[in-house]
Chain A
């Protein structure tokens, strides 16, 4: 008799949801990654056509963020174990912070990214 019991015609838990207590963080992160990629792509012709502080600082920001998120994905893929993951991500934050700081310093004190690339290529 119990074996003859049919499954309910409708799922009693209601319509499909993302899941209990889920957040949209992951999908927003994904969208953010694509947005920064497109921004960075747009900065390349901008750097060539209108070099200057605005593009320099935008490049510093977009480059650092794009790299930070990219390396973050590499860590997620290859680093396993809670402590290792935490250590790797902390190291990444430090690296990215230093990178952004260094690029801004270069833009402020030195010739700036656009000019530097132009000068390097004139070699």
Chain B
């Protein structure tokens, strides 16, 4: 009867936190590879998108007006097309990256 992975993981972390050993350098020294970069970007975009959805959701619950009202307000700002395009890109890029890379993970 062995121990579970969780038990072993806990034991490892408890022992190492107690001994106050310095952490061996990792992200700061290893040469970055494409798979590494793509993987962390996938995670980063995922977290960002998730938080974005949650923020939108909370706004829907808390703000007094409805969506078309706020959209009209933004439209009334008459922002330049460059700014609007950049904003759309800022939304679309993480979404697209995460989606396409996600497909790569699934196949």
Q: Which residues of B contact A32 (CB under 8 A)?
A: none
User: Would you call A34 and B106 a contact (CB within 8 A)?
Assistant: yes
Total residues of chain A contacting the partner, CB 8 A:
33
Find chain B residues with CB under 8 A from A101 CB. Answer: 57, 61
Partner of B50 from the list A71, A120, A123 (CB cut-off 8 Å) is: A71
Report A32-47 CB contacts with B as 1/0, cut-off 8 Å. 0010011001001000
Judging by beta carbons under 8 Å apart, are A63 and B53 in contact? Answer: yes
Contacts A106-B57, A110-B66, A111-B66 given; indicate if A19 touches B49 (C-beta within 8 A).
no
Structural contact, B60 and A80, CB atoms closer than 8 A: no
Interface magnitude class on chain B: 20 to 34
A20 to B2, CA, bound (A): 8
The reply to whether the CB of A7 lies closer than 8 angstroms to some CB of chain B is: no
Q: In chain A, what residue has the closest Cβ to B44?
A: A74
Set of chain A residues within 8 Å of B2, measured between Cβ atoms: 19-20
- Rounded to whole angstroms, the CA-CA distance of A63 and B66 in the bound complex is 21
Bound-state CA distance A91–B99 (Å) is 26
Given A99-B54, A110-B67, A111-B68: A37 in contact with B60 (beta carbons within 8 A):
no
Q: Which B residues fall within an 8 A CB radius of A? A: 1-2, 4, 10, 13, 17, 43, 46-47, 49-50, 53-54, 56-61, 66-68, 71, 74-75, 84, 88, 99, 102-103, 106
